[in-house]
């Protein structure tokens, strides 16, 4: 008997169910022995508190196109892993105990950066863990792409597309705030795909003078409107030079709901333009996965199942230079993959006349 556990951790995204379907179909197809499937509910919380359900192949039928996660998810911050829960439960020993209780041969963990750090810890504690790279942010180290990313680009791009009509009708400047946590992958890709005039990402700190100049230049060239795609983590050159603590304090003291509103206010103050903000927010994580995500998620699921059957544990499934592979969890945990400010897409966007506010 082969006993496997499935767990989705951290923020949800579009292709989680497609990935689990890939794991389960492959395991059932290729295993030489009967398989027992355990769905752990609500991320690591389910493993800590013993919330799980036995699942059948039928549970994974018809979920390829279904967004969210059929298991539920939650955030269990890595930095508090060794701090007991409010009710006194010690998280790591509880997870080890429950893994053993279920007699698992392998735990498949679908998660982003923080979740991968926890997976690495559990692997070091002796559990057989295989991680799969989930996040719309595409910031997971060790893989060129994560599942959820291309679907999120599509949603953000559609938002920029749809804003164009109102921006054009009213001759307005629109600031569109795009997710991505500390990195700028989604705003960069959606900004280019949606034809933004300015793209502001954390990896390229901006100067407001340059942003205003780009908007005025577009007006001088006859553009009736302008679109500024802003990463939720965008920072000014001044903020980038600040000590981390001082910057965090500044963000905590922000009066506006988020960075897009600060930028919009500043543009309105410095120009005579009408400025509005649009925030697609969590819609970027919602809805059905696009075709590319379905394919990559399926590939991840298949490779993870095959790795399990070979006994390759303590790894994360990845795509590097267009090849599926796996990388040691220890080499991935705790690292972020940032946009290269000198990379091709940034260089090409600049050549096209898109401003990043840095020059
Ligand atoms: O990591 C995915 C993500 O959507 C980030 O882009 C964003 O910063 C964060 O999660 C939002 O988290 P929450 O769902 O907890 O509001």
CA distance 107 to 127: 8
CA-CA distance, 106 to 305, in Å (whole number)? 10
Nearest CA to ligand 1 atom 2: 11
At 60, is the pLDDT very low, low, confident or very high (cuts 50, 70, 90)?
Answer: very high
Residue with the nearest Cα to atom 15 of ligand 1?
Answer: 11
* pLDDT tens string 191-221: 999 999 999 999 999 999 999 999 999 999 9
Tokens representing 260 are 């897009």
- Tell me the two tokens of residue 106: 């392998």
Mean pLDDT for all residues in the chain: 97
272 is catalytic: no
- Cα separation, 133 vs 117, whole angstroms: 12
Residues paired with 52 in a beta bridge? 40
Q: What is the pLDDT of residue 194?
A: 98
* pLDDT at 254 (0 to 100): 92
Q: What is the pLDDT, as a whole number, of residue 147?
A: 98
Identify which of 120, 154, 128 has the alpha carbon closest to the alpha carbon of residue 290: 154
Percent of the chain with pLDDT over 70: 100
Most distant CA atoms of the chain, gap in Å:
71
Which residue among 73, 179, 279 has the greatest number of ligand 1 atoms within 8 angstroms of its CB, and so is best to mutate?
179
Of 206, 156, 190, nearest to 341 by C-alpha is 206
Cα 335 from Cα 140, distance rounded (Å)? 7
- Span 151-175, pLDDT tens digits: 999 999 999 999 999 999 999 999 9
Q: Quick one: average pLDDT of 101-110?
A: 98
Nearest one of 345, 340, 297, 333 to 142, comparing CA atoms: 333
Mean pLDDT across 79-95 = 95
Question: What is the C-alpha separation between 103 and 272, in angstroms, rounded?
Answer: 67
Q: Among the options 59, 137, 197, 293, which is catalytic? A: 137
pTM comes to 0.96
Q: What is the pLDDT of residue 308?
A: 98
Taking residues 223-231, report their average pLDDT. Answer: 97
Given this model, what pLDDT does residue 234 score?
A: 98
The set of residues, in sequence order, having a beta carbon less than 8 Å from that of 124 and lying 6+ positions away, is 330
Nearest-CA residue for atom 10 of ligand 1: 11
């Amino acid at each position: 008997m082969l006993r496997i556990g499935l767990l989705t951790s951290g923020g949800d995204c579009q292709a989680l169910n497609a990935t689990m379907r890939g794991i389960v179909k492959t395991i059932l197809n290729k295993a030489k022995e009967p398989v027992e499937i355990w769905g752990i509910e609500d991320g690591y919380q389910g493993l800590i508190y013993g919330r799980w359900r036995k699942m059948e192949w039928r549970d994974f039928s018809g979920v390829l196109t279904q967004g969210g996660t059929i298991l539920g998810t939650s955030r269990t911050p890595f930095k508090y892993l060794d701090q007991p829960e409010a009710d006194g439960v010690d998280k790591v020993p509880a997870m080890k105990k429950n893994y053993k209780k279920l007699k698992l041969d392998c735990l498949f963990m679908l998660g982003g950066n923080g979740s991968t750090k926890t997976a690495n810890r559990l692997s070091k504690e002796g559990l057989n863990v295989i991680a799969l790279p989930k996040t719309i942010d595409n910031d997971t180290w060790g893989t060129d792409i994560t599942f959820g990313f291309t679907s999120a680009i599509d949603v953000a791009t559609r938002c920029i597309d749809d804003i164009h009509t109102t921006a054009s009708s009213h001759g307005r400047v629109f600031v569109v705030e795009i997710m991505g946590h500390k990195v700028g992958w989604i705003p960069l890709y959606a900004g280019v795909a949606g034809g933004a005039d300015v793209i502001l990402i954390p990896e390229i700190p901006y100067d407001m003078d340059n942003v205003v100049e780009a908007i005025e230049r577009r007006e001088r060239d006859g553009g009736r409107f302008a679109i500024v795609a802003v990463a939720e983590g965008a920072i000014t050159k001044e903020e980038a030079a600040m000590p981390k603590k001082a910057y965090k304090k500044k963000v905590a003291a922000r009066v506006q709901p988020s960075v897009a509103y600060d930028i919009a206010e500043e543009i309105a103050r410095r120009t005579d333009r009408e400025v509005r903000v649009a925030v697609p927010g969590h819609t970027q994580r919602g809805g059905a996965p696009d075709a590319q995500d379905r394919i990559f998620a399926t590939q991840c699921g298949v490779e993870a199942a095959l790795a399990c059957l070979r006994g390759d544990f303590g790894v994360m499934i990845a795509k590097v230079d267009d090849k599926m592979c796996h990388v040691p969890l220890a080499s991935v945990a705790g690292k972020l993959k940032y946009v290269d400010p000198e990379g091709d897409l940034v260089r090409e966007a600049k050549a096209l006349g898109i401003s990043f506010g840095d020059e």
